[in-house]
Amino acid sequence: MNTPETVAPEWIRPHMDTALCLAEAALAAGEFPVGCVIACQDQIVSTGARTSSSGQHPNETDHAEIRALQEYFALDAPPPAETCIVISTLEPCLMCFGALLISGFRTIAYAYEDAMGGGTSANLSVLPPLYRNACPRIIPGIRRNRSLRLFQQFFRNPETIYWKNSLLSQYTLSQALPPEV
């Protein structure tokens, strides 16, 4: 079962900071603020940020995790996926979670939970063996408040159309944050 862990190794935090910088850049470009890195030990091997979420017809395949996967597979000699960790500012959706599992990644960390479409809590035991036997390690909540601030900024923007008034926007805007220090 993909049971979330509550304690994350310290070395994940700097990688999440990089993912958050990617999410901040996406937000500055008017995109949904998701950034993702794939790291092998202390080295980031690929990155991705959400694109194509603005406008009347958003492209739902240009997710940060998919873009990081594409960059990973474009490497001449990528490290084995099972030795890497995927670090995203938003819990991967079912599409991204499935793609990560099929690609062999077994450790996934994220900052902010996707109350509307997060895939990491899916009951893999009822799925075919390709997914059921994956046994991923899920590490939620790394730098959650920093990521939440980005999503609140996104959803508070009056020009935002993407997922406006959705369960995710309502949930996000209802979350209380401690004051910034």
Mean of the per-residue pLDDT values of the chain: 93
Confidence at residue 9, expressed as pLDDT on a 0 to 100 scale: 76
Could you report the per-residue pLDDT of 3-31, keeping only the tens digit for each?
555 567 788 999 999 999 999 999 999 99
Confidence at residue 54, expressed as pLDDT on a 0 to 100 scale: 87
* Residue whose entry in the numeric block shows the structure tokens 């873009």: 67
pLDDT at 1 over 70: no
State mean pLDDT over 159-180: 92
Could you report the per-residue pLDDT of 36-87, keeping only the tens digit for each?
999 998 899 999 999 999 888 889 999 999 999 999 999 999 999 999 999 9
Calculate the alpha carbon distances from 107 to 4, 32, 55, 120, 135 in Å. 10, 24, 33, 11, 9
Q: Which amino acid is at 85?
A: I
- Give pTM, 2 decimals: 0.93
**Mode of pairing for the β-strands spanning 85-90 and 137-139:** unpaired
State mean pLDDT over 113-136: 94
Of 58-62, 94-98, 116-120, the poorest mean pLDDT is in 58-62
Report long-range pairs for 98-104 (Cβ below 8 Å, ≥24 apart). Answer: 98/131, 99/65, 99/66, 99/69, 100/65, 100/69, 100/136, 101/130, 101/131, 101/134, 101/136, 102/130, 103/69, 103/72, 103/73, 104/80
* Residue whose entry in the numeric block shows the structure tokens 């949904």: 32
> Which has the closest alpha carbon to 63: 52, 50, 74?
50
Confidence at residue 3, expressed as pLDDT on a 0 to 100 scale: 53
